[in-house]
């Protein structure tokens, strides 16, 4: 079983009319997270006994496609939505790029005055992009969920895998690569990338 760090108690206080105060003690971060435990195969059991499976999708650069290619991609995506007649959730994770290393590399390549001027203009352009938050990177995930209707775990896994292969086949027509998150460690890293980085895992 996986346990989350930060065992210190947090006291929440909510004031209503008059001086009536409600206090609630939270024993740990784990209390308010919906996850019960991570399975070795990458699936996650929730506290309501449902299971989820995470898929990572590699995007394509739609803007670089020709008009004919764009039309083909859109038609394939429509087919994907019609074919996959089960519930799933698409999540986009956006994070600001760290351009420090890239900028340092450019500064070292200033071999002549002409190149130096071009490099300075380029670095200013990059800085403006970064300030306007246009230099963020994005990761795309699909979340599959299966309620536990008194089924054994193996059957749930098989059903989620069937949905995964269906999605993989459909999105391949759009040019996307779909990766199955099939290990406990990968699932942990993805889930906790959405949370505070100071939260850590402790095995017990």
Pair (73, 123) in one structural domain: no
* Collapsed DSSP state (helix, strand, coil) of residue 13: strand
Residue 72: which domain range? 35-95+137-203
Position 23 in a domain: no
Band the pLDDT of 7: cuts 50, 70, 90: very low
For residue 194 the two structure tokens come to 């959405």
Pair (55, 147) in one structural domain: yes
The total number of structural domains that make up the chain: 2
Pair (142, 81) in one structural domain: yes
Checking if the pLDDT of 48 tops 50, the result is: yes
Residue 141 and residue 187 in contact, taking contact as beta carbons nearer than 8 Å:
no
Higher pLDDT, 63 or 135: 63
Position 66 in a domain: yes
Burial class (CB in 10 A: 0-12, 13-18, 19+), 29: middle
**pLDDT at position 186, please?**
95
Position 5 in a domain: no
**pLDDT at position 193, please?**
84
Pair (164, 88) in one structural domain: yes
Position 29 in a domain: no
Band the pLDDT of 156: cuts 50, 70, 90: very high
Residue 151 and residue 51 in contact, taking contact as beta carbons nearer than 8 Å:
no
Position 6 in a domain: no
Pair (113, 74) in one structural domain: no
Position 4 in a domain: no
β-sheet bridge partners, residue 109: none
Q: Give whichever of 25-29, 174-178, 193-197 has the largest mean pLDDT.
A: 174-178
Pair (192, 141) in one structural domain: yes
Checking if the pLDDT of 46 tops 70, the result is: yes
**pLDDT at position 137, please?**
76
Pair (143, 197) in one structural domain: yes
For residue 172 the two structure tokens come to 């391949």
Band the pLDDT of 14: cuts 50, 70, 90: very low
**Contacts for 176-181: CB closer than 8 Å, 24+ residues apart:** 176/57, 176/58, 176/59, 176/60, 177/57, 177/58, 178/55, 178/56, 178/57, 178/58, 178/142, 179/55, 179/56, 179/57, 179/58, 180/42, 180/53, 180/55, 181/42, 181/53, 181/54, 181/55, 181/56
Question: Residues near 123 by Cβ (< 8 Å), separated by ≥ 6?
Answer: 103, 106, 107
Pair (80, 159) in one structural domain: yes
Checking if the pLDDT of 196 tops 60, the result is: no
pLDDT in tens, 55-108: 999 999 898 899 999 999 999 999 999 999 999 999 998 776 656 666 666 666
Checking if the pLDDT of 30 tops 70, the result is: no
Position 53 in a domain: yes
CATH number at residue 56: 3.30.70
Position 180 in a domain: yes
Task: Using a pLDDT cut of 90, give the percent of the chain over it.
Answer: 44
Pair (41, 104) in one structural domain: no
């Amino acid at each position: 079983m996986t346990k989350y760090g930060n065992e210190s108690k947090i006291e929440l206080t909510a004031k209503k009319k008059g001086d009536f105060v409600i206090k609630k003690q939270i024993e740990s971060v784990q209390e308010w997270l919906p996850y019960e435990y991570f399975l070795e195969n990458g699936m996650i059991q929730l506290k309501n006994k449902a299971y989820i499976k995470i898929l990572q999708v590699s995007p394509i650069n739609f803007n670089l496609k020709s008009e004919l290619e764009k039309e083909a991609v859109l038609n394939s995506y429509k087919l994907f939505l019609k074919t996959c007649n089960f519930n799933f959730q698409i999540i986009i994770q956006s994070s600001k790029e760290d351009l420090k290393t890239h900028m340092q590399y450019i500064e070292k390549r200033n071999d002549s005055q002409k190149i130096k001027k071009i490099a300075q203009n380029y670095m200013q352009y990059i800085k403006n992009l970064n300030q306007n938050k246009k230099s963020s990177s994005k990761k795309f995930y699909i979340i599959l969920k299966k309620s536990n209707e008194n089924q054994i775990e193996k059957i749930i896994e098989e059903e989620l895998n069937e949905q995964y292969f269906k999605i993989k086949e459909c999105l391949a027509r759009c040019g996307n690569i779909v990766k199955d998150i099939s290990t406990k460690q990968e699932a942990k890293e993805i889930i906790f990338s959405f949370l505070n980085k100071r939260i850590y895992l402790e095995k017990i």
